[in-house]
Amino acid sequence: MTREADFIARLRAIATHPAARGLADDAAVLPLSGEIVLTHDMLVEGVHFLPTDPPGDVAWKLVAVNLSDLAAKGAAPIGALMGYGFTGDPGWDAAFAEGLARALTTFGLPLLGGDTVAMPATAPRTLGLTAIGQAPASGAPSRAGARPGDRLWVTGSVGDAGIGLAIARGVANGPAALLERYRRPVPRLGLGAALAPLAHAMADMSDGLLIDAARMAAASDVAIEIALEAIPLSPALRATAGDGREARIAAASAGDDYELLIAAPIEAQEAIRAAAEQAGLPISPVGTFTAGAGIRLNDRGEPLPLPARLGFEHDG
């Protein structure tokens, strides 16, 4: 059995859903109805993950970043198609397949199809995943629906993955929990589904709180004012980087957290807090949308200059 055939046999063992047709057909075929959410995100070695990241964690991340897009639309996962480039390391491929099986099982996401291709041995590992989900009955909230007076909420904690990346690169020390946040982000599927009916706008936070909030404001044709002191930091981050202004600005402009940003009217406040409590996750109001354009940053009422870099802009 060639190494490719071995990998494909592993994928076939994962792809037991009837719509996958045993990965032996030209395409997946499945019944769908209603509003469907579709996303496709790629991961490239050296750009989105480090050559030293464990292959199983890369598989997890490939699944998680796509499911995070579904979570941001309040959608329930239906299935996925994967594009996988072989780069001549059967051990890596096998460990990836194991991690993929674990991630798909964790999130109940059937593998329905895709493509495996040979790549030149010098090419960076390149992966793509298309995730398909069912929009909530209330409709998939857009990124563009924030209105003046809406509050901006963020789930979980901010900045952990940024320090996790520094730990993975060997340029910082810190607890394993922060490394884990970088390597194995958890898409907020349940909470996303609960928040969607309450939100004017939703998006996931992949490139940084400041940049993703600014994008939501720009798409919605409004301005956003962020309260630095309200940004939720985890105990692990505070123990590592402290809780000063510098640490907070770094957290607010770091990527890879995959939390959700939600724009919602003040009246939704109690329902939002109740949804988060039920999901067992913190949720924090971190800003206010106003008429106008652009992003402003305050610290306990004091206007601050924006950092030169609002977040990660690797790919527009």
**Which residues are part of a known binding site for ATP?**
114-115, 143, 206
Q: Would you tell me how many other CB atoms lie within 10 Å of the CB of residue 56? A: 20
Q: What minimum distance in Å lies between the beta carbon of 151 and a second copy?
A: 20
Residue 146 binding a second copy, by CB under 8 A:
no
For a second copy, the closer CB: 15 or 178 = 15
Q: What minimum distance in Å lies between the beta carbon of 48 and a second copy?
A: 7
Nearest residue to 162 via CA among 225, 246, 226: 246
The C-alpha atoms of residue 44 and residue 8 are separated, in whole angstroms, by 21
Nearest residue to 273 via CA among 181, 187, 151: 151
296 DSSP β-pair partners: 225
For a second copy, the closer CB: 158 or 241 = 158
The C-alpha atoms of residue 95 and residue 116 are separated, in whole angstroms, by 16
Please name the residues in contact with 55: beta carbons below 8 A apart, sequence gap of 6 or more.
Answer: 92, 93, 95, 96, 99
Residue 25 binding a second copy, by CB under 8 A:
yes
Residue 41 binding a second copy, by CB under 8 A:
yes
Residue 30 binding a second copy, by CB under 8 A:
yes
Residue 156 binding a second copy, by CB under 8 A:
no
Binders of a second copy in range 204-223 (CB under 8 A): 204, 215, 219
Q: Report the phi/psi class of residue 278: left, alpha or beta, with left for phi > 0 and alpha for psi in -120 to 50.
A: alpha
Residue 191 binding a second copy, by CB under 8 A:
no
7 DSSP β-pair partners: none
252 Cα distance to chain centroid: 15
The 102-141 site mask, x for binding a second copy (CB under 8 A), equals: ----------xxxxxxxxx-xxx-x-x-x-xx-x----x-
Please name the residues in contact with 220: beta carbons below 8 A apart, sequence gap of 6 or more.
Answer: 143, 144, 145, 146, 147, 201, 263, 289
The region of 39-47, 56-64, 156-164, 226-234 touching a second copy under the rule CB under 8 A is: 39-47
For a second copy, the closer CB: 99 or 128 = 128
The C-alpha atoms of residue 156 and residue 10 are separated, in whole angstroms, by 35
The 60-79 site mask, x for binding a second copy (CB under 8 A), equals: --------xxx-xx-x---x
Nearest residue to 182 via CA among 123, 239, 234: 234
Q: What minimum distance in Å lies between the beta carbon of 192 and a second copy?
A: 10
Nearest residue to 84 via CA among 157, 23, 163: 23
Annotated binding site for Mg(2+): 26, 39, 41, 69, 115, 204, 207
- Are residues 75 and 204 in contact, defined by beta-carbon separation less than 8 angstroms? no
Residue 46 binding a second copy, by CB under 8 A:
yes
Cα dihedral 229/183/208/316 (nearest 10): 180
Distances (CA, A) of 268 to 107, 127, 167: 28, 39, 38
* Helix, strand, or coil (residue 302): strand
Binders of a second copy in range 249-288 (CB under 8 A): none
Annotated binding site: 26, 39, 41, 48, 69, 114-115, 143, 204, 206-207, 256, 312
Residue 97 binding a second copy, by CB under 8 A:
no
Among 14, 15, 28, 196, binds a second copy (CB under 8 A): 28
Residue 308 binding a second copy, by CB under 8 A:
no
**Binding positions for a second copy, rule: CB under 8 A:** 2, 4-5, 7-8, 21, 24-42, 44, 46-48, 68-70, 72-73, 75, 79, 81-83, 85-86, 112-120, 122-124, 126, 128, 130, 132-133, 135, 140, 142-144, 203-204, 215, 219, 314-316
